[in-house]
Amino acid sequence: MTYSDADLRAASETAIHQCLDLQSDESLVVVTDDKREVIGEALYEVASEVTDDASIIRYPPGNQHGEEPPAPVAAAMASADAFLAPTTKSLSHTRARGAACDAGARGATLPGITEEVFVTGLDADYDAIYRHSKEMLEAVGEADEVRVTTEKGTDITFVRGDREWLADTGYIANEGSFSNLPAGEIFLSPESATGTYVVDGTMMPHGLLDDDQELRFEVEDGYVTHISDDDIREQVETAADEVGRDAYNLAEIGIGTNVGVTNLVGSVLLDEKAAGTVHIAIGDDAGIGGDTDAPLHLDGIIREPTVYADGEEVELPQP
C-alpha cells in the first residue's frame, strides 16, 4: 500500500509535537538511511517548521540490528538536543544512542520502520499507553522473579537482581529520555534467566511466523544454550565470532502495553508493543540496564502468555 504525503505528515507531527515536544530554540537531527529516506524526510520537514536548527543525516543501511553507526552519525546524535532515527537496522541498543542520551539528547529510534508501521503505529493514544505501562510497572516492577508460560511450551523464569524495569511510553520530552516509536512496552534486562521459550509471533529474519511455525530456545543461567532455527542460530554464531559468549546473552524480557495494536503485522518494532504479548531478546543489553555489549539484539514475540510476578498471576492489558 502506498501512503500519501498527508499520511506521513500526520505521523511525523505526532512524533515531533506530541512525543518530542520539540521547541523552536532546540536542535534536532534526523538519522536515516537509503531505505528509510522517505520517512526521514517527512520527519525533517515537520521539524524544520518548528526550529531553524534541524538537520538530516543519511548513511547506508547497517548489516545487523545493534550495529554501531558511523562515527559522524554518533557525533551528530550526541551534539543535538533531540534526535529521531528511522533506520533499517536498530540503533536502540548501540553505544552511540546511549552516549547521546548520556550527553542530554532526547529522542527515539524507529528501527525497521515501514510506511505502514509509521502511519499506523503513530496513530495511537499515548495517554492510554502511558497508563497501561505504569500499571504493568506496578504489577511486576518489585518482583524478584517473573515467570512466563504458554500452552506452546514456554516456561521461563527471569531473575531481576538489582536491575530495574523500564517503560517505553513514547513520551520523550525530558532531557536524556529515550523511546522507541511506535511505543508501548515495559522491559527488563534480567540478571539471569532459566527455562524454555517458544516464539510464535514475529522474529527476524522470518517476520510474522506461520500459524504452525515455532522457534524454540533453551536458556540456562542467563545464556541461550539451544536455538532450534538455523537462520537465527547463524546470526548469533556470527556475532559470537566477534564477542564470544556475550552473543548468547539473554538480554531482555518485555511486556507489550499498546492496546491499539490489534494484530501482529510482521514488524518487530510494532509487534513487540502489542498488548497481551511478551517478547524476549538475545544479545546486547547495555542500552537497557545490562552490562553486555554485543553486535545484535534479536527480539522474539510470544502470543498469549501467562505472566507471574513472584508466583502471582498478572493481568496483562489486552487490545
Q: Dump pLDDT digits (tens) for 29-85.
A: 999 999 999 999 999 999 999 999 999 999 999 888 888 999 999 999 999 999 999
Reported in sequence order, the residue ranges of 210-277 that DSSP labels E, i.e. its strands, are: 215-220, 223-227, 250-256
Cβ atoms of residues 65 and 85 within 8 Å: no
**Helical (H) or strand (E) element with 198:** strand 192-199
Label residue 1 by pLDDT band (50, 70, 90).
Answer: low
Residue 167 phi, psi dihedral angles, 5° rounding:
-120, 135
Q: What is the pLDDT of residues 166-218, one digit of tens each?
A: 998 988 999 999 988 999 999 999 999 999 999 999 999 999 999 999 999 99
Q: Is the pLDDT of residue 311 over 90?
A: yes
Q: What percent of the chain has pLDDT over 70?
A: 100
Distance CA 195, CA 155 (A): 6
The shares of helix, strand and coil residues in the chain, as percent rounded to the nearest 5, are 30, 30, 40
Q: Is the pLDDT of residue 264 over 90?
A: yes
Label residue 273 by pLDDT band (50, 70, 90).
Answer: very high
Distance CA 283, CA 15 (A): 28
